[in-house]
Amino acid sequence: MALNAAAGLKLDTILNKAARALGKRLSPVLALSTVMRDQMLTETDKVKVPFYSLETLASKDFDGSYSFAGADGGPGSSKDVTVNKRKYQALEFTSKELRRNSVVDLNRVLALKVEKLGEDVLNDIWSLVTLANFGAAIFTGAASAFDRDDAVDIKTGCSQANWPSAARSLVLESAYTGALAKDLNAVDTQDGDNVRREGSIGRTAGFDVFEHPNMPENDEHLVGCAILPFSILTAFSPIEPADEVRDNLSDYRIYTDPATGISLEYRSWGDPDSDKAKRVVEVNYGYALGDAAQLKRLVSQ
């Protein structure tokens, strides 16, 4: 049975908050070349994602005429990314738990589920960040010794690799963002003031800084990466239930975080035989390798 108006409005509020929480957790994907859609794909599961490799063609000296050898614009302005990943978190309540337990806080339960969902999606995307895909690390060291000097050294290494100065991002495991924040907090600069006020770094050494707790080590001690947008390509798009499936759902909704454009899907249905209400929040996405020259790994050892 569908929700009544009051219950539906309450659910809207809860899921809007959940979508914003998901967008916040997945904010590092904004540093990548990403296409977000709140409309479903039809006829295909591929999304064209913008892609540009770093320019390596040396500038020429004019000798009376222009030469266009090697000036073909590179590999193109987009690559196909297949949306073939589908991660979800499930909730299940018995009728007794819902009707006789006034302390069940669906808002809190969903928030925790969505936080973990976002973390797992990011871990899946960062699983591409390996020695085989992106080469030797630009930084090796423990979090306890990580400071602003290391951030500047990373900046220098990226500049020496001919990275453009714009659109640089630094994604760090929490222990490393914490160490960097402590270091900046001790400095009497605008950066230090921002850390003291906000508890987050924002930008340092020319990088937008993103925190990702529990970054997957990939058996290679990964703790972060310096990135340009076209190092990894990602795409997000919901999957609408088939008519026969939807007929058996009590509710299906899509909520999009306005800040990031990332969509969260919600499904609910009941199982009369087990007397249980079932709910699922999920994200449908895909990713692909982009330009290996646009990512530098950070490892702990």
Is the pLDDT score of 117 beyond 50?
A: yes
In a domain, 263, yes or no: yes
143-176 per-position pLDDT tens digit: 999 999 999 999 999 999 999 998 999 999 999 9
Q: Is residue 66 part of a domain?
A: no
**Could you tell me the pLDDT band of residue 301, with boundaries at 50, 70 and 90?**
very high
Domain that holds residue 241: 5-52+79-299
Per-residue pLDDT, 298: 97
The predicted-structure confidence for 15-35, as pLDDT tens digits, reads as follows 888 888 888 889 899 889 988
Classify residue 288: in a domain, yes or no: yes
H or E stretch at 48? strand 46-50
In a domain, 35, yes or no: yes
pLDDT digits (tens, 9 = 90+) for 196-218: 344 457 788 999 999 988 888 78
The predicted structure's pLDDT at residue 182: 85
- Is 71 among the domain residues? no
Indicate whether 58 belongs to any domain.
no
* Assigned domain for 121 exists: yes
- Predicted confidence at residue 104, as pLDDT, reads 64
Over residues 57-68, mean pLDDT: 86
pLDDT tens track for 233-273: 999 999 889 999 999 999 999 998 888 888 899 999 999 99
With vertex at residue 16, the alpha carbon angle to CA 238 and CA 173, rounded to the nearest 5 degrees, is 80
Residue 203 near residue 209, CB atoms below 8 Å: yes
Pairing type for strands 139-140 and 169-172 reads unpaired
Among 74-88, 145-159, 221-235, the least confident range: 74-88
pLDDT at 57: 76
Domain for residue 213, yes or no? yes
Instruction: Give the residue ranges of DSSP H helices in 106-220.
Output: 106-126, 131-134, 148-160, 174-185, 190-198
The confidence score (pLDDT) of residue 103 equals 59
pLDDT at position 195 is 42
Domains of the chain: total: 1
Give, for 253, the enclosing helix (H) or strand (E).
strand 251-256
Instruction: Read off the pLDDT of residues 274-286 as tens digits, 9 standing for 90 and up.
Output: 999 999 999 999 9
Q: Is 139 a residue whose pLDDT tops 50?
A: yes
Indicate the pTM of the whole model: 0.83
Confidence class of residue 1 from pLDDT cuts 50, 70 and 90?
very low
> Cα–Cα distance between 281 and 270 in angstroms, integer?
15
